Amino acid sequence: HSILTQKHFVMKAIKFLPFLFIPLLLISFCLGSCEKYVTDFDLEKKEARLVINALLNPDSIVTVHISTSKTLNPPRPSYYLTEAKVMVYENGKLLGTMLHDSMGYYLLPDVRPQAGATYRIEASAEDYATAYGETRIPQGFRIEQIESEFLPSYPLYDGWEHRTQDLEEYRIVLKLPEGVDTWHGVSLISESTYSSEEWECVTLDEPYYNGYMWTQDSCYWTGDYLTQNYRGATSSIAPQDFIQFRSGWSYFEMGERGLDNFYQKHYFSRPDKHKPSLSLLLRINANPPSEGSDQQLTLYIDSYSEALYKQMYSLAQAEEVGDNPFAEKINIYTNVVNGLGLVGSINNTNRLLPPPY
């Protein structure tokens, strides 16, 4: 009976063997197809394009950098161009053809952009499509009012811990052109002078061992002092909700709302273009003046063209995404037609801040 049962089982298994083989064949075919799809994958071919980068400012002559884009298919590096034809137009009229200075930088000598005017930068080069971009120089504005206050033991929360700290608070009221969208960045710059010893160094005829290494330099204090200037950014907190992104140590980031974190610069678009006044609030670490100190704190408020602001905003968003492969793709903003880069503009207003002491 046992032998008959085993024989019956074997015959039944042989009967269904073709049906087991078909799924295995399909799985093998699919896996083979997937592997073939990956190995045969071709990148979309891209033509190299002109890259125009220009940041126009009424305080400086017109300067433009011209380079090429980097491509992967076919592989081609990016490099700057020294023989491009670069023309500048003001309100539709040709101002002149720019001269190459060095390393892809082109200048238009003795020409400074005017606030309120629109400028077009057009570049052409052999084997590249002509590219161009436009920008309108932002108008200046007035700082109407500045108030300062000392805040002893002010409560702070940076997302990690609660603490108290002595702060200085500055309340600033801006008078902006009514009915116009504007984009801004606000920062504080500390300036002071300090004295340091004046040293001189001479090169000796023969090297000598100074206790650490062999050298031919001999330095000594002349007995005099030098007066030097210090200028640096002062980090601040900007707690208002209309602040859209921030920057510190040369990179942009979104920053978390509701946290008391210090940044070197804060960026915002105007919340309501129909209200002529806008109030800003900045807080910094308290720095009471010491005897003989001449430290000064200056408020700088930049006005940006829309394109420049959008590019900085996209850089902050890209920093937020980081290397996450599943995050939403962030395209760095460009306003250059038939190319890449940015033609933007900036104008700034500054005012010395009154100390709260």
Query: pTM to 2 decimals?
Result: 0.79
Average confidence (pLDDT) over 275-301: 90
DSSP, residue by residue, 323-356: T-TTSPP-PPP---BTEEEEEEEEEEEEEEPPP-
β pairing state of 339-352 and 50-56 = parallel
* Structure confidence by residue, pLDDT tens digits, 168-191: 999 999 999 889 999 999 999 999
Structure tokens at 301: 């408020």
Average confidence (pLDDT) over 147-176: 95
For residue 29, the SS3 value is helix
For the beta carbon of residue 347, count every other beta carbon within 10 angstroms. Answer: 21
Separation between Cα atoms, residue 134 and residue 345, nearest integer Å:
10
Residue 23 clears pLDDT 80, i.e. is over it: no
Average confidence (pLDDT) over 97-125: 96
Element (H or E) spanning 188, and its range?
strand 183-209
Q: What is the pLDDT of residue 42?
A: 59
Terminal Cα distance for the chain, rounded: 107
Separation between Cα atoms, residue 32 and residue 26, nearest integer Å:
10
Q: What is the pLDDT of residue 19?
A: 46
* Structure confidence by residue, pLDDT tens digits, 327-357: 888 999 999 999 999 999 999 999 999 989 8
Average confidence (pLDDT) over 146-161: 95
Average confidence (pLDDT) over 115-122: 97
Separation between Cα atoms, residue 156 and residue 261, nearest integer Å:
9
Q: What is the DSSP letter of 290?
A: P
Structure tokens at 247: 């920057």
Contacts of 130 (CB under 8 A, 6+ apart): 50, 122, 123, 124, 338
> What is the pLDDT of the chain when averaged over all its residues?
87
Identify the top-confidence range among 38-47, 229-238, 253-262, 297-306: 297-306
